[in-house]
Structure 1
């Protein structure tokens, strides 16, 4: 059994989505060959959801980590809600962390769970250093590497962040 967690950017451009999804499909298939793959994701917009879809497409099992009790209500936009709910329904395991509100502490705790559970971490990451805000993709990559968790960076040619 292989357990792969994901971290990645939420703000992918529209044109980047199919590029990232195709790269994730190729990567996930490498680990799904043994037929016993678990993907761990917070199923946020962007990389997390694309990863979760790739895991399910490869017939892997999905574990969802929800950072806080209010996450669905306060952080999932109306256009993202149908996909979020579909992925949540498809999950074999759902962990809702005990934080009341979706804040930096909740995200840091969720990232810690991802790293704890992972044999590998997939990072949909442009390679940029951490922002001052913390709890982002670069921070999670750094923490995974410090914990000895191998990291597969996915950033296909043509991928970009919005803004």
Structure 2
């Protein structure tokens, strides 16, 4: 079964999330009939949009979280319901052994996500990473590992 990972910006505008949802849906359509697993760290923005599309398309969802306390420490109250709903739809959940979520833990989670994926989707504007473990870093790492990376950044897409 094909495993497709996601990396992408967490600060998408609401209008961009709609554009990205359609672009991801189009990208995943060829895999839906054969079955696939979407692999995500379930961060706000691109990761959660991807997870929603995966579940809507009938795919399985595998989640890699940077630490056991990620939900309590980093998921904002306004996003808890969405996070919890998507996490409950996962067929597999892996927690990395970091005591606290942070830049090193995020990059390690992304590296684990890449190792579990055959193909990566990157919701990326092409800019540099905003900090260690940002989208650009993950794209670079995935390419270094020989993963094909499908960049999704629709016309009119913006970050907050």
Given the two structures, how large is their TM-score scaled by the length of structure 2? 0.97
Corresponding residue for 1:15?
A: 15
Aligned counterparts, 1:132-151, within 5 A: 133-151=131-149
Distance 1:108 1:33 in 2: 32
Q: Which residue of 1 aligns with 2:156?
A: 158
Aligned pairs (5 A) from 1:1-163:
1-34=1-34, 36-131=35-130, 133-162=131-160
1:96, CA displacement in angstroms?
Answer: 1.0
> What residue ranges of structure 1 are gaps of 5+ in the alignment?
none
1:153 Cα offset (Å): 0.4
> What root-mean-square deviation, in Å, do the aligned CA atoms of Structure 1 and Structure 2 show?
0.8
Which ranges in structure 2 are unaligned for 5 or more consecutive residues?
A: none
SS at match of 1:161: coil
The alignment's TM-score, normalised by the length of structure 1, stands at 0.95
Residue deviations 1:66-95, cap 9 Å, x none? 111221011101111001000100000000
Q: What secondary structure sits across from 2:43 in the alignment? A: coil
How far is 1:129 from its partner? Answer: 2.2
Q: Which runs of structure 1 show a deviation greater than 4 angstroms over 4 or more consecutive aligned residues?
A: none
